[in-house]
C-alpha cells in the first residue's frame, strides 16, 4: 500500500497567478524543445535590454562591506530617509523615516501589510481588472477580495459609485493601482479625491500601489494619493523594479500617510512582522538613495522619441490597424490591455486564444481573465520589447485571428 499523498493547503484553493502559471510553464516546455518564445507575459525590463542606472550599481557595490550584517527590520536609514525626501518633494510633509518600511520588493510588503490588517472574513475592495497578487494576498491572509469594476468603456477609470456598491460592514481597506497594471490607466485627481472622501467617511485604509508612478505618457499626470488622503490613512507602495529597471534587486517600500496617529497599532503590527523576517535584502537598499536623489532617466524613456514611448505607440498603431483588436490607449505603466473583436464571442475566449497563440505562433501573453475580470475577451501584453519584435508579434496575432474570422 502506497503512502498517503501530501496535500496542498486549502488556503491555496482560490489563489491564482496565471502571469507565471500554466501558460508560462508550457512556454518553458516549448523552449526546452528548441522553440523560440516571445514572452510578453511579465513586465521585466532587464529581459528586454533596459539597464539599471550605473550610479545605482556603483552605490550598491561601494557599500557591499556595510551590507553583510542584518539591518533594522524597517530597512537602512539612508534608504528610508530618501523615501521621506521624495514624499516631501511631492508635498507630503508629515512623514518620518519611522513611517517607512523597506521590503523584498513591493510583493513582500503587500503580504505583510495585509497580514497585519486582516482578521478572518474581513473584506478588501480590489479593482477589476487587478494585479492578481493583490487578490491572492488578501485570500492568503484570511480576507475576502470584493471587486469594484473599472470598466473598459470608462477608460478603466474607477467610479466611486462602484466602490459604494461593494462596501459592507466587513470592509477594511480599498486597493488602488495607479498608474494601473494591467490597463495602463492613470487616474484623474477628481476621481482620487472622491475615493479619498469615500475611504475617510467609511474608516477604510487605502492601499495605494504606485510602483509605476513616474511612468506616464503624453498629457497624463500622476497624482500621489497621499497628497489627497487628508484625515484618512493610506499606505503607499513603490520600489526600484519598474521606474529604475532593477527588478532583481528586490527592493520596494511602503510609506504611511495621512492621519498616521490613527494607524499606530497597525504600524507596530507591521514592524513586528518585519522583525520576524529579520530584514530585507540589504545590498539593494544602498541603491535607493542614489535612485531617488539622482537624475531621473525614466523621463527620457517616456517622452516622444524615448524607447518606452515609441514602443507603446507601436502597440497602439498596430492594434488600430488590426481588424480584430481594440485597446484603450495606455496612459501609464508598461502594458496594454487589448480586446478581441466581438466577432469572436462564444468562439474564442482569452484562455483559448492565449494557448493557441503560444502553441502555434510561439508568443506568450496573459489572458485578461487572469486579472480577475468578469469578461473573457481581453489579453495583456507588456510594451517592453523593441518595435521590430512588437511588429512580429502583431503579425502573428493577426495571422492567428485570420484563421478564426
CATH number at residue 354: 3.90.1150.10
User: Do residue 58 and residue 190 come from a single domain?
Assistant: yes
Q: Which of 243, 273, 293 is the last residue of a domain?
A: 293
Phi-psi sector, 255: left (phi>0), alpha (psi -120 to 50), beta: beta
When pLDDT is cut at 50, 70 and 90, the band that residue 13 belongs to is confident
Position 376 pLDDT exceeds 70? yes
User: Do residue 230 and residue 355 come from a single domain?
Assistant: no
What mean pLDDT do residues 385-401 have? 97
When pLDDT is cut at 50, 70 and 90, the band that residue 8 belongs to is confident
User: Do residue 100 and residue 207 come from a single domain?
Assistant: yes
- What pLDDT sits at residue 1? 61
**Residue 383, in any domain of the structure:** yes
The H or E element spanning position 127 is strand 123-128
- What does the pLDDT look like over 312-344, one tens digit per residue? 999 999 999 999 999 999 999 999 999 999 999
Nearest to 16 by CA among 124, 158, 122, 132: 132
Position 15 pLDDT exceeds 90? no
Cα–Cα distance measured from residue 251 to residue 100, given in angstroms and rounded to the nearest whole number: 13
What mean pLDDT do residues 353-373 have? 95
Encode burial over 208-246: b for 16+ CB neighbours within 10 A, e otherwise.
bbbbbbbbbbeebebbbbbbbbeebbbbbbbbbbbbbbb
- What pLDDT sits at residue 344? 95
User: Do residue 257 and residue 308 come from a single domain?
Assistant: no
User: Do residue 110 and residue 156 come from a single domain?
Assistant: yes
Range of the domain at 165: 54-293
- What pLDDT sits at residue 101? 97
User: Do residue 322 and residue 194 come from a single domain?
Assistant: no
What mean pLDDT do residues 108-131 have? 97
User: Do residue 155 and residue 70 come from a single domain?
Assistant: yes
- What pLDDT sits at residue 12? 74
**Residue 309, in any domain of the structure:** yes
**Residue 4, in any domain of the structure:** no
Q: Domain tally for the chain?
A: 2
Mean predicted lDDT score pLDDT of the chain: 94
Position 117 pLDDT exceeds 90? yes
Strands 233-239 and 378-382: unpaired
User: Do residue 29 and residue 97 come from a single domain?
Assistant: no
When pLDDT is cut at 50, 70 and 90, the band that residue 18 belongs to is low
- DSSP SS3 for 145: strand
What mean pLDDT do residues 276-281 have? 94
Q: What percent of the chain has pLDDT over 90?
A: 92
- What pLDDT sits at residue 113? 97
User: Do residue 36 and residue 61 come from a single domain?
Assistant: no
**Residue 313, in any domain of the structure:** yes
User: Do residue 147 and residue 36 come from a single domain?
Assistant: no
**Residue 6, in any domain of the structure:** no
Q: Which of 293, 321, 343 is the last residue of a domain?
A: 293
- What pLDDT sits at residue 93? 87
User: Do residue 310 and residue 389 come from a single domain?
Assistant: yes
Q: What is the CATH number of the domain that holds 285?
A: 3.40.640.10
Q: Which of 242, 269, 293 is the last residue of a domain?
A: 293
**Residue 99, in any domain of the structure:** yes
Nearest to 211 by CA among 174, 252, 256: 252
Nearest to 181 by CA among 213, 136, 227, 205: 213
Strands 252-258 and 363-364: unpaired
**Residue 2, in any domain of the structure:** no
Q: What percent of the chain has pLDDT over 70?
A: 99
User: Do residue 267 and residue 390 come from a single domain?
Assistant: no
Cα–Cα distance measured from residue 209 to residue 178, given in angstroms and rounded to the nearest whole number: 6
**Residue 204, in any domain of the structure:** yes
Amino acid at each position: 500500500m502506497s503512502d498517503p499523498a501530501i496535500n496542498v493547503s486549502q488556503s491555496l484553493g482560490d489563489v491564482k497567478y496565471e502571469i507565471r502559471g500554466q501558460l508560462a510553464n508550457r512556454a518553458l516546455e516549448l523552449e526546452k524543445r528548441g522553440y523560440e518564445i516571445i514572452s510578453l507575459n511579465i513586465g521585466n525590463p532587464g529581459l528586454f535590454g533596459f539597464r539599471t542606472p550605473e550610479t545605482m550599481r556603483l552605490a550598491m557595490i561601494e557599500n557591499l562591506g556595510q551590507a553583510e550584517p542584518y539591518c533594522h527590520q524597517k530597512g537602512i536609514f539612508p534608504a528610508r530617509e530618501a523615501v521621506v525626501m521624495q514624499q516631501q518633494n511631492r508635498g507630503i510633509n508629515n512623514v518620518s523615516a519611522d513611517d517607512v518600511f523597506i521590503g523584498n520588493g513591493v510583493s513582500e510588503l503587500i503580504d505583510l501589510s495585509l497580514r497585519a490588517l486582516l482578521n478572518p472574513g474581513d473584506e478588501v475592495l480590489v479593482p477589476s481588472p487587478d494585479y492578481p497578487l493583490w487578490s491572492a494576498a488578501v485570500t492568503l491572509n484570511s480576507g475576502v477580495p470584493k471587486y469594484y469594476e473599472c470598466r473598459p468603456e470608462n477608460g478603466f477609470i474607477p467610479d466611486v459609485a462602484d466602490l459604494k456598491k461593494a462596501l459592507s460592514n466587513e470592509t477594511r481597506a480599498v486597493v488602488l493601482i495607479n498608474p494601473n497594471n494591467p490597463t495602463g490607466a492613470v487616474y484623474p485627481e477628481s476621481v482620487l479625491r472622491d475615493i479619498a472622501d469615500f475611504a475617510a467617511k467609511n474608516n477604510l485604509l487605502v492601499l495605494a500601489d504606485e510602483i509605476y508612478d513616474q511612468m506616464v505618457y503624453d498629457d497624463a499626470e500622476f497624482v500621489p494619493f497621499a497628497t489627497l488622503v487628508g484625515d484618512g490613512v493610506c499606505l503607499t507602495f513603490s520600489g526600484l523594479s519598474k521606474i529604475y529597471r532593477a527588478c532583481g534587486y528586490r527592493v520596494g517600500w511602503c510609506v504611511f500617510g495621512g492621519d498616521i496617529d490613527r494607524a499606530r497599532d497597525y504600524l507596530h503590527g507591521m514592524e513586528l512582522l518585519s522583525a520576524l523576517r529579520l530584514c530585507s535584502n540589504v545590498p539593494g537598499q544602498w541603491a535607493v538613495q542614489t535612485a531617488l536623489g539622482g537624475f531621473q532617466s525614466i523621463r527620457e524613456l517616456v517622452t516622444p522619441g524615448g524607447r518606452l514611448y515609441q514602443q507603446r505607440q507601436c502597440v497602439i498603431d498596430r492594434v488600430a490597424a488590426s481588424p480584430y483588436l481594440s485597446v484603450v490607449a495606455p496612459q501609464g505603466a508598461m502594458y496594454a490591455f487589448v480586446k478581441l473583436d466581438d466577432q469572436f464571442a462564444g468562439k474564442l475566449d482569452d484562455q483559448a486564444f492565449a494557448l493557441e497563440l503560444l502553441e502555434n505562433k510561439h508568443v506568450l501573453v496573459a489572458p485578461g481573465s487572469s486579472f480577475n475580470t468578469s469578461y473573457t475577451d481581453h489579453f495583456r501584453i507588456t510594451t517592453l520589447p523593441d518595435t521590430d519584435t512588437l511588429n512580429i508579434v502583431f503579425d502573428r496575432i493577426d495571422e492567428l485571428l485570420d484563421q478564426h474570422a
